Structure 1
Amino acid sequence: MHIHHLAQENSILNSFISEIRDAQIQTDRMRFRRNIERIGEVLCYEMSKTLDYKPKTITTPLGKSNTQLYTDEIVLCSILRAGVPLHSGLLNYFDDAENAFISAYRHHKHNPETFEIIVEYLACPSLEGKTLILADPMLASGQSMVATFEALKPFGTPKNIHLVSVIGAQDGVNFVNNHFGKDTHLWIAAIDQTLSDKGYIIPGLGDAGDLAFGKKLQH
């Protein structure tokens, strides 16, 4: 798998990452969502450099302009609910993409420190021969990303697969690296080295879904 760790190079991306981590700033839900969206835009821009392009001539009011436009048929798939702001950032750039949404959550059956990933809701177009962008802001254990991809397999075989995350744990990166093909690309803003016994990224940023949309009801 090709791993693109953008925080290894200094850029404006560092500012967005620092704000979503900052316990004081992240209390502003609107700013948190917007920063996740902006990180998605940066990741999307970098990823766009790897797509297939073909030449096209554009007619302007004063003449002709030659350019290169991407030819990939793109499907954006985000894991609900934390993936919604990240999805918006990707869609800001790939505005003609098809869209898929899937729910995946941790189910603690007996032990609070162990869990399985449950996939329930899924809406997806055909993936056959297309470029799949699978987005989940937090790549902790990596199990959600793998479970989601398994659920998408009945919809066809993509031509290319890109995974997009905001913050990941090294364990999660290793896990998806072992479960996706060598031609898969992972685009990630920051990688932290520690994953807690309960499967949370440290230092991470907390629960991205709660920070973006408020705490969910427990049942």
Structure 2
Amino acid sequence: MTIHNLGDENSILNQFISEIRDSQIQKDSMRFRRNIERIGEVLGYEFSKALLYNSKNVETPLGVKSMDLIQDQVVICSILRAGLPLHQGLLNYFDTAENGFISAFRKHEGDEDDFEVIVNYFAAPSLEGKVLVLTDPMLATGRTLENVLEGLKKHGTPKQIHIVSVIGSQQGIEFVESVFPAQTHLWIAAIDPELNARGYILPGIGDAGDLAYGQKL
């Protein structure tokens, strides 16, 4: 797997990351969602450089200009509900992208630290020969992405697989690298060193879905 860690470079992206981490700023759920969306736009711009382009003549009022435009058909698949703002950020840049949505959540038994990932809803177009973009804002253990990959197999074989995440743990990235095809690309804004006993990224941000949309039962 090829890892593109944009947090290694100095850019405006760091401002957005700092704000979603800040325990005071993240109390504003609208600002939190917008920052995730903006991070998606930055990651989408960088990811776009890896796509296939073809020349096309564009007629202006004064002449014709040859432009290199994206040829690949992109399918953006996001994990509900935390992935929605990140999905929108990508969609802001990829106007003609097709869309898929997966409902996946952790199920803890009581107060136990161990959990299983439940996938109980999936909707997507055919992936055959297309560029699949999986968006999961918090790449913690990587088990959610593993389950999603298994569920996608009946929808066809994509030409390429790209994962777009906001923050990941080193452990989760290593796990994803072990289960995804070697040609997979990961585009990520920050990598944190560890997980706590319940599988949350440290220092991370907390629960991205709750911060964006409120606490769930």
Partner of 1:84: 84
* Residue segments in structure 2 that go unaligned for 5+ positions in a row: none
User: C-alpha deviations, 1:53-103, integer Å up to 9, x for none?
Assistant: 000110000111111001111110000000000000000011111100001
Partner of 2:139: 139
> 1: distance between equivalents of 2:26 and 2:193?
22
Equivalence map 1:35-184=2 (5 Å): 35-109=35-109, 112-184=112-184
> 1: distance between equivalents of 2:111 and 2:19?
33
Q: For residues 10 and 215 of structure 1, do their structure 2 counterparts lie closer, same or farther at Cα, with a shift above 3 Å needed?
A: same
Partner of 1:24: 24
Alpha-carbon deviation of 1:141?
A: 0.2
Q: Which amino acid in 2 is paired with 1:118?
A: I
Alpha-carbon deviation of 1:177?
A: 0.6
> 1: distance between equivalents of 2:184 and 2:6?
16
Runs of 4+ with deviation above 4 angstroms: none
Partner of 1:2: 2
> 1: distance between equivalents of 2:207 and 2:112?
16
> 1: distance between equivalents of 2:58 and 2:84?
34
> 1: distance between equivalents of 2:29 and 2:74?
29
> 2: distance between equivalents of 1:64 and 1:139?
45
Partner of 1:204: 204
Aligned length: 217
Alpha-carbon deviation of 1:112?
A: 1.6
TM-score by length of 1: 0.98
> 2: distance between equivalents of 1:76 and 1:139?
17
Q: Which amino acid in 1 is paired with 2:7?
A: A
Identity across the alignment (%): 64
User: C-alpha deviations, 1:103-143, integer Å up to 9, x for none?
Assistant: 11111236621011110011111000100000000000000
Q: Which amino acid in 1 is paired with 2:112?
A: P
Q: Which amino acid in 1 is paired with 2:95?
A: D
Q: Which amino acid in 2 is paired with 1:192?
A: D
The RMSD of aligned alpha carbons is 0.8
TM-score by length of 2: 0.98
User: C-alpha deviations, 1:163-190, integer Å up to 9, x for none?
Assistant: 0000010000001011111110000000
Q: Which amino acid in 2 is paired with 1:211?
A: L
> 1: distance between equivalents of 2:152 and 2:144?
12
> 1: distance between equivalents of 2:111 and 2:150?
25
> 2: distance between equivalents of 1:123 and 1:109?
27
